[in-house]
A and B are shown apart, each in its own frame.
Chain A
Amino acid sequence: MEHPSPPTPAGPGTPARLHWGWNPYLHLALNGLLVTASELLLKRGAMATAQIPGSAWLDSLGLTILGSWWVWAGIACYVVSFVNWLHVLRWIPLSVAFPLASVVHALIPLGAWMFLDERLSPLRWGGIVLIMAGIWLIAEPLTHAEETL
């Protein structure tokens, strides 16, 4: 990382001149956490507002859900995750970033199990393991690429 390389037009290179806080792979990991947090917060808010009797027309549009702070926190996480995704796309090839972002299909059930007390079937655990193995196959060669930069 001592030798800053000129940025290639669309290559996978890391922005060597930037502060480590802007590392696109760090932001890709952050993206997975933000999307997962947003889904769990929205679910929490939906559960909290399901019992509250709202006016009929608000209810029919699903808008009673906006009365929950959990939901607004979920929406905020979602908006931040989109901006953060654009930063990821600026530096990482789409064919690498998008499959890695699929980690949310494993993180969301795991989060639901940990924070929302949902039960996971053995088959679902198997699916989570498959996704994590796939993530590993794509991510592991990248750690070598980072070292040789």
Chain B
Amino acid sequence: MTIHLLVLILLAQGALVAGQVFLKHGMNLTRSPVGGAARIVGILLAGIGLLTLWFLLWMGLLQKLDLSYVYPFEGLSPVLLVLAACAILKESLGWKSWTGVGLITLGTIVVGLS
């Protein structure tokens, strides 16, 4: 695999994670008194835009590479997303949940490789 494609895969994962963080932030604001409607809609649209970018990047990768090659990378998304949720949204997880995230990642990679 060339560096070029690896960068594209990481870019796609980054767009997915960022998109979900935007959606979560926007939905958190719907429960907070400081969130104005226009601001919430803007944040949600940014999230939808990032998820669209992820979808297009993913489709582009699938045109160039076999599904069995790209799919295992899908397993990275729960780990990256939980790390982002902890760092940016100040969420926290217990050791049991971290083990669960690890098993899901491993399982997704195995399903993708098989």
B-contact 0/1 string along A76-106, CB 8 Å cutoff: 0000000001100110011110110010011
Q: In the complex, which residues of chain A have a beta carbon less than 8 angstroms from the beta carbon of B100?
A: 99, 133-138
The yes or no answer to B66 lying at the interface (CB within 8 A) is: no
Would A128 and B107 count as touching, CB distance under 8 A?
yes
Q: Determine the distance from Cα of A136 to Cα of B107 in the docked complex, in whole angstroms.
A: 13
Would A98 and B31 count as touching, CB distance under 8 A?
no
The yes or no answer to B2 lying at the interface (CB within 8 A) is: no
Would A126 and B110 count as touching, CB distance under 8 A?
yes
Would A130 and B89 count as touching, CB distance under 8 A?
no
Contacting residue for A124 out of B32, B85, B110, CB 8 A: B110
User: Contacts A93-B85, A95-B85, A102-B108 known; A133 to B31 CB distance under 8 Å?
Assistant: no
User: Contacts A106-B107, A126-B110 known; A94 to B24 CB distance under 8 Å?
Assistant: yes
Number of A-B contacts (CB under 8 A): 126
For chain A, the bracket of interface size reads 35 or more
**Min CB–CB distance A126 → chain B (angstroms):** 6
Would A98 and B108 count as touching, CB distance under 8 A?
no
Would B107 and A10 count as touching, CB distance under 8 A?
no
Q: Determine the distance from Cα of A37 to Cα of B75 in the docked complex, in whole angstroms.
A: 21
Q: Determine the distance from Cα of A141 to Cα of B92 in the docked complex, in whole angstroms.
A: 14
Residue in B100, B109, B114 with the greatest tally of chain A CB atoms within 10 Å: B100
The yes or no answer to B4 lying at the interface (CB within 8 A) is: no
By a beta-carbon cutoff of 8 Å, the part of chain B in contact with chain A is 20-21, 23-24, 27-28, 30-32, 44, 74-75, 77-78, 81-82, 85-86, 89, 91-94, 96-97, 99-114
By a beta-carbon cutoff of 8 Å, the part of chain A in contact with chain B is 7, 9-10, 85-86, 89-90, 93-96, 98-99, 102, 105-106, 109, 121, 123-124, 126-138, 140-141
In the A-B complex, the 7 residue pairs with the closest CB atoms: A130-B107, A134-B103, A127-B110, A137-B100, A131-B107, A127-B111, A134-B104
